[in-house]
Amino acid sequence: MEKVVLVTGANSGIGLALCERLLTEDRQLRLCLACRNTQRAEAARAALLTSHSGARVDLLHLDVGSVLSVLSAAQEIKARYNRLDFLYLNAGIMPNPAVDIRAFFTGFFSRNIINMFATAEGLLTQQDRPNSDGLQEVFATNLFGHFLLIRELEPLLCQPGHASRLIWTSSSNARRSAFSIEDIQHRKGKEPYSSSKYASDLLSLALNRHKNNQGLFSSVTCPGLVMTNLTYGILPSFLWTLIMPIMWLIRIFTNTFTLTPYNGAEALHHLFSQKPESLDPRAKYHSLTSGFGNNYTETRQMDVDDEMSEVFFSKLLQLEKVVRSKQSQRNAEDKANQQYVHHAE
């Protein structure tokens, strides 16, 4: 039976590399690239079809940071497919990043150097802002849009006698200390990216608790440090060019510098062939690359607890209600405006 796999943020970086790897693994696959930028999505599809002629690759417009777009994309998915085996929740942003140079040099000459390079702890801040739905952009894109998509797709994902899988692209930058259960959107802090990634770890745990008995299994991955559009946005390009040899050198000392999207997609690809029974709901699956360039996946326990994940889950359900009612109000207003224009004409 052909598997249906949907990947968000599939037009570049880790998402696109994953698609390449999945098509190599399973030629029968029906792959759906869910992307916000149609031009880049078409280019990605064309590239995939060049290396995998005859493959079934569909495109779907999805801006995961917009409630309206998520709701209409979900309708489209339910109309197109009668099953969804894998949903890769991969789209992500890190807007306006800034590196704390002083913290970098302090860390560089300390025992914490390896951890600093692996997790960017204390190094990175971002500036976030509310989007047109009134949600913080990083939270909306990296977490809430995906949550809403899962909720909308439950009829497809939770089918009797058939297991479906969610696979999150989290990060080594996900830190409990950056997340506050009182401020789940991270309105007040300066680490919205870290907070949103920790939130995905919490949500995955809660989803497993609530949905495993309905055949839905969620896993969390960490791709390591990968050179993609997201990372290139952190430093000016001339600086990346300058430090690139150092990056390849550091790779000898830390297996988390996976560097290429192909390597970074290792754990995401690994999970594709794992049976649901073998999954650990509290584990993060790390893509790692040895100094000799060999890729492997390692499981490490996440710093998450049941109580906090449960509270977080109920807060998300509450927020979902608010967001849905706002959206219905907007739809009603739009309809009334259209009727008004129609009558005026």
Ligand X SMILES: NC(=O)C1=CN([C@@H]2O[C@H](COP(=O)(O)OP(=O)(O)OC[C@H]3O[C@@H](n4cnc5c(N)ncnc54)[C@H](OP(=O)(O)O)[C@@H]3O)[C@@H](O)[C@H]2O)C=CC1
Ligand Y SMILES: CC(C)=CCC[C@@H](C)[C@H]1CC[C@H]2C3=C(CC[C@]12C)[C@@]1(C)CCC(=O)C[C@@H]1CC3
> Would you tell me which residues interact with ligand X (CB under 6 A)?
8-9, 11-15, 35-37, 40, 62-65, 90-93, 141, 169, 171, 223, 225-226, 228-231
Instruction: Confirm or reject binding of residue 249 to ligand Y (CB under 6 A).
Output: no
Q: Which is nearer to ligand Y, 251 or 269 (CB)?
A: 251
Non-local (6+) Cβ contacts of 23 within 8 A are 29, 31, 48, 51, 52, 55, 57
Rounded distance between C-alpha atoms, residue 342 and residue 138, angstroms: 38
Instruction: Give whichever of 16 and 207 is closer to ligand X, judged by the CB atom.
Output: 16
Q: How do strand 4-8 and strand 216-222 relate by DSSP bridges?
A: unpaired
Q: Is residue 88 annotated as part of the catalytic site, yes or no?
A: no
Q: Are 45 and 71 in contact (CB under 8 A)?
A: no
247 counts as binding ligand Y under rule CB under 6 A: yes
Find which of ligand Y, ligand X, none residue 234 binds, CB within 5 to 8 Å per kind.
ligand Y
Find the catalytic residue in 88, 193, 262, 285.
Answer: 193
Measured CA to CA, the distance from residue 107 to residue 152 in angstroms comes to: 44
Give the total of residues touching ligand Y (CB under 6 A): 17
Smallest distance from ligand X to CB 52, Å: 19
115-137 b/e (C-beta count within 10 Å ≥ 16 → b): bbbbbbbbbbbbebeebebebbb
- What φ, ψ does residue 169 adopt, rounded to 5°? -95, 95
Residue 120 contact among ligand X, ligand Y, none, beta carbon within 5 to 8 Å by kind: ligand Y
Could you tell me the smallest distance in angstroms from the CB atom of residue 222 to ligand Y? 8
Choose from ligand Y, ligand X, none: what does 271 bind? Cβ within 5-8 Å by kind. Answer: none
Rounded to a whole number of angstroms, the minimum distance from the CB of residue 222 to ligand X is: 6
Please say which residue, 14 or 29, places its beta carbon nearer to ligand X. Answer: 14
Query: Distance between CA atoms of 285 and 276, rounded to whole angstroms?
Result: 14
Q: Which does 235 bind (CB under 5 to 8 A by kind): ligand X, ligand Y, none?
A: ligand Y
Is residue 14 a contact residue for ligand Y (CB under 6 A)? no
Tokens of 178: 């950056």
Q: Closer to ligand Y at the Cβ: 65 or 223?
A: 223
Binding to ligand Y in span 166-185, by CB under 6 A? 171-173
Spatial separation of the C-alpha atoms in residues 108 and 84, rounded to whole Å: 45
* Contact assessment for residue 41 and residue 10, using Cβ atoms and an 8 Å cutoff: yes
- Nearer to ligand Y by Cβ, of 120 and 148: the residue is 120
**Closest approach of Cβ 160 to ligand X, in Å?**
31
Of the ranges 228-236, 279-287, 306-314, 331-339, which one interacts with ligand Y (CB under 6 A)?
228-236
E strands, 269-331, in order = 283-289, 295-301
Q: What 3-state class would DSSP assign to 37? A: coil
Q: Which residues of 226-252 are buried (b: 16+ CB within 10 A; e: fewer)?
A: bbbebeeebeeeeeeeeeeeeeeebbe
Closest chain position to ligand Y (CB): 171
Interface residues toward ligand Y, by CB under 6 A: 99, 117, 119-120, 123-124, 171-173, 225, 231, 234-235, 243, 246-247, 250
Which residues belong to the active site? 193
